[in-house]
Structure 1
């Protein structure tokens, strides 16, 4: 095995080359102007999930040796060299290799029984993605340039069919997708790509127009910066046409919704969006909405769940990324207009499903409509609880059978241009009421999940957990109350 020497410092890595391939400007900014980055709220959670999955993958291999980057990466390179030279090779975690200024840390490098090495990149996703090929190719290129014989190169990803049968026992959590030959063409061009990345870093800030690459395969943290330099566009772009309806107009060079010939809009929904926007007149069909909701019997139970999903399941009987309800809100409305609020919330870290199912059976009336916004999700959660708890299944399945959906009613019978093409309840609510989510500490489902994770932490104080509980209750309760407000507005009810 050879170890090429170089006078270059470590200027490139697998992640930086991935940035270059997505957008040279992103690489340049990430290197020279990190201060301009703006990360979304879910970035930290995704990083934590990836770290947890990586740790589990290593823990499942009993004889592996971890290469620490202490005191620095040069020490990690030297330590990896020592381990590769052992007479009886061992599996190496975070094997650190460098060639021509490109440094990679390989998640798992294990000896192949026939000689050589198996290169494994661990991912928290449920399958090997196309963009994983480039990651793997960079590592494979560096490893070969360092003289290693690589017998296999694979993505070790989560097997979503896995079911946790014993707390903490994750054997069977992963599947390997072999890609050694599939990435051959990419490996052959690595040197060219490295040269391009190095040239981009050594020059002025690259010019690159915004486009689909700003969000694929990753959301770029510099999108806001890049868009800030663009001239202001039209107030109402063709992008308000839902379900990607604006793409064909942009392909024709039309960006402003007002420039469209409305007679060429084939979709009735797009016609409504166009006319409501151009004429600044909301579309509202109260008779149609009343007809759609006429069969929704009383008492009406307005229901909303909040759920959590883990890449590595925490509770026995759950799968990777399975949505598990930890909270619900239900407003029960009688025919005379009186309303009673009921709720469930579990923040003790235990499996919340049994307690949730029992509370749901108690809180939701045995008759009447159960109403949700995008009801397929609530139905899936109720049915999942019924599958797990046969003794509660008849009552739970009754809830599932009585679920009706306010979303398609809203989509068919109402549109205000301030929705900007969205029928999410958070987009519709401000157009029908002064009620919104701006005054709440928790404003969306992602924030609710983060609050749940914070409350589960061992170092979360009782006071902080109580505060998070109140914030979660306020948010989930707002969701179900918002449905009532919206339904009354849709039908033209005099009740406020």
Structure 2
């Protein structure tokens, strides 16, 4: 077997270079500057790997060509060549290399003496990035001397409903992208050359921040590239297109204070800029009074957490279906009473929906308004549960009729604090109104991480880790509802 030199560019670094050449340089030369990967991001990577392995079952009996570790991909290339020459008809993780560019592909199938390539994605549809990814694979494979009859992306079918064991040919869809991929071959060649030039240069490319920092993915070097963007920058303006923000930034307007008085802004943006510059809180007293008059004690403060397994774990569920697993409830009998708390976190091993709704209905059976933050979400979860458990339809409808949205005063600009930075998310409202309460110090500090943590629990066997994750979930969701208690108290004027 001929010696295969180490590759210069891989599929993942090619996609990185297509988004930003500076990101490629930093990844190769200053990896230590990379932002910390979040729990939810790591869960996505893990899910992608697991789904790739699961999809192999569509084409059983294949031979795995993957390397022993990520530093030995040239062995995988040699192994792939050997398998093809020996007549193997199904290859998993086949690897090809051409002119210093490495590309592995999830599944290769030989049928009637023709080769078909399949790349598996843990998504519900084919994106432009996936097509670019497949275009590179096609480029490397065909330039290596292997003709492809077709190349397809295998993705999840959200219409699939699990009944018993997984039916892989119904769970997955294969979409041919051959035509799009062929049309991009010249572009691929150009992008490869640009990436190679970048890698050969020791100097960091002079790429300024821009929309590419977010598209198609949020860059994992933003902490480095954005370190000189000041607090109070124009990027805190709400509801403005990124293209307009970067146009302002390039013109020399970098902070809210620098925005000219006659600059065209929307209502929220004008309010935000005015009260940022004044460093004052805006309050529509009549609007707040009207909102408070609509709240009838006793009050439940309620929050849900859901998870969305890409591969349905339970009977009668579909890919990416929201499945509720946790709620938190704070309760106040009247404005001056002490607050009490109840919560629920499902056990693992079965669909948590039944236990969730039974406990929730029991814990909210007494009279009183039910205050949530972002009514649309909690209402959609309850409506889905109503279809799953028609025997509880009347009770669920009764709970929905009592629900009111604490987000409205902030969404409708009845109350605005400069520290909200143009956002009415509870993650921004809470520290602005109640500075001593913060999410950023929690182990689990947002809904995506909570979802990822509960999905991790489905496979976790270490009792200590299980206890730690459940406690972190409890702490996070409890803060969500306690945050609502304190925010409402601010509106009521009890905390100055």
Q: TM-score by structure 1 length?
A: 0.91
Contact 2:77–2:96 (8 Å) recurs in 1: yes
Q: How does 1:303-382 map to 2 (within 5 A)?
A: 303-335=302-334, 337-338=336-337, 339-365=339-365, 367-382=367-382
Partners of 1:387 and 1:267 lie apart in 2 by: 40
- Matches of 2:492 and 2:268, distance apart in 1: 19
CA apart distance, 1:250: 4.5
Identify which range, 334-343 or 176-185, moves more after superposition: 334-343
Aligned to 2:159: 161
Q: Number of paired residues?
A: 486
Larger mean CA deviation between 442-451 and 482-491 belongs to: 442-451
Partner of 1:33: 30
- Distance in 1, matches of 2:245 and 2:50, equals 44
- Give SS of 2:97's match: strand
Residue 70 (structure 2) pairs with residue 68 (structure 1)? no
Which piece of structure 1 moves more, 416-425 or 58-67? Answer: 58-67
Deviations 1:222-266 (A, max 9, x none): 2222234xxx45542222221126753642423322233445555
Contact 2:303 2:378 in 1 (8 A): yes
Q: Which residue of 1 aligns with 2:419?
A: 418
Superimposed CA distance per residue, residues 417-446 of structure 1 (whole angstroms, 9 cap, x where no aligned partner)? 111112111211222223333554432223
Query: 1:271 aligns to what SS in structure 2?
Result: helix
* Equivalent of 1:457 in 429, 440, 459: 459
Gapped runs of 5+ residues in structure 2?
none
- Is 1:23 matched with 2:20? yes
Closer/same/farther in 2, CA of residues 398 and 324 from structure 1, 3 Å limit = same
Question: How far apart are the structure 1 equivalents of 2:263 and 2:334?
Answer: 45
TM-score normalised to structure 2 length: 0.91
| Maintained 8 Å contact 2:4/2:74 | no
| Counterpart Cα distance in 1 of 2:96 and 2:495 | 69
The secondary structure found in structure 2 opposite 1:305 is strand
Matched, 1:406 2:406: yes
Give 1:211's aligned residue: 210
SS of 1:153 mapped into structure 2: strand
Shift of 1:158: 1.1
Q: Secondary structure at the match of 1:287?
A: helix
Q: Secondary structure at the match of 1:297?
A: coil
The SS at the match of 2:226 is helix
C-alpha distance in 2 between matches for 1:233 and 1:74: 42
Contact 1:347 / 1:452 at 8 angstroms: preserved in 2? no
Listed as ranges, the gaps of 5+ residues in structure 1 are none
What are the superposed Cα offsets for residues 353-391 of structure 1, whole Å, 9 maximum, x if unpaired? 100010111111354322110110011111111111111
Contact 2:57/2:168, CA 8 A, preserved across alignment:
no
Measured at CA, do residues 75 and 204 of structure 1 come closer, stay the same or move farther in structure 2, by a change above 3 Å? closer
| 3-state SS of paired residue (1:182) | helix
